[in-house]
Amino acid sequence: MSEHAEATALVDIQNISFRYPSGKQALDDVSFQLQAGQFHALLGLNGAGKSTLFALISRLFQVQQGDIRLNGQSLKAAPAKVLGSIGMVFQQSTLDLDLSVAENLHYHASLHGIPPSQRQQRINEELARLDMSDAHHKKVRALNGGHRRRVEIARALLHQPSLLLLDEATVGLDPATRQQINQYVRQLCREQQVAVLWATHLIEEIHTGDTVALLHQSRLLACERAEAICQQANRATLVQAFEALTGTEATT
């Protein structure tokens, strides 16, 4: 990564290490940057450390070593300010199934301090972008998996974050729905200049021009555009490069 890229990075993940109480090393000196308005893939097999990194960025876990900076602000020094600029979609759904879509979104908007006079407009805007305008009063329990994911993305965007984290957001969805959600998130990058960190173990969700942070067994093996990683590994495809660099079979 060039000095210019580091200087203009929206997010700077600096020398992050994390060890669980059991002694398991989940992350080992991980550093990379994220740029505004770009789609970044965090690629690794289950257990590579992706969810641990997300838990640190979202402050579910405390940073043990290193720091995470967003717009120059340290997560350690100014956690409330940093978290206020982050939207998160977790691997496991956190919607209240017995509330309506609107009730879930109003509750989240209130937690982020969005004034009551603005909440409905923001909810309407985000649901419209996701083609979910007719779902306001539907119970979440009545929605299929793909539509629940769309509601979670809408919820994560209500407070207009500059960074959107998606942790294996398409797990359990059919291929067509996975592709639709992936395409929509990429559109967000282009239209709203949101930086996206998309954690996945599915290489098919990554495009050739994407910047890929490749995690394996707690360590960052590469952070380059996909084609550069292929060149580094002297392989024709990202699947082949992943297998060469990690010594394991890729998931597509």
- Of 103, 129, 160, the residue at which a domain comes to its end is 160
Query: Which has the closest alpha carbon to 195: 21, 13, 52?
Result: 13
**Band (251; pLDDT cuts 50, 70, 90):** confident
d(CA 69, CA 34): 10
What mean pLDDT comes out for the span 206-231? 96
| Residue 32 reports pLDDT greater than 90 | yes
Q: Are residues 14 and 122 in the same domain?
A: no
Q: Does the pLDDT at position 252 exceed 80?
A: no
Residue 90 lies in a domain: no
- Rounded mean pLDDT, 12-29: 97
Task: Indicate which CATH number applies to the domain containing 183.
Answer: 3.40.50.300
**Listed residues 112, 144, 160: the one ending a domain:** 160
- Which residue has tokens 């974050």? 161
User: What pTM does this model have?
Assistant: 0.91
Residue 252 lies in a domain: no
pLDDT category of residue 3 using cuts at 50, 70 and 90: very low
Q: Are residues 154 and 100 in the same domain?
A: yes
Region 115-129 average pLDDT: 93
Domain extent, residue 100, equals 95-160
Contacts of 139 (CB under 8 A, 6+ apart): 97, 98, 99, 100
Residue 136 burial class via C-beta count within 10 angstroms: exposed 0-12, middle 13-18, buried 19 and up = middle
Is residue 251 domain-resident?
Answer: no
User: What's the longest Cα–Cα distance across the chain?
Assistant: 56
Domain boundary among 160, 176, 205: 160
pLDDT in tens, 159-210: 999 999 999 999 889 999 999 999 999 999 998 899 999 999 999 999 999 9
Q: Model confidence at 232, in pLDDT bands (50, 70, 90)?
A: very high
How far is the C-alpha of 199 from the C-alpha of 191, rounded, in Å? 21
The verdict on residue 233 lying in a domain is yes
Burial 30-49 (b: 16+ CB within 10 A, else e): bebbbbbebbbbbbbbeebb
| 223 pLDDT above the threshold of 60 | yes
pLDDT of residue 93: 87
Q: Please check whether residues 51 and 65 belong to one and the same domain.
A: yes
pLDDT tens readout for residues 126-154: 999 888 999 999 999 999 999 999 999 99
User: What pLDDT sits at residue 249?
Assistant: 85
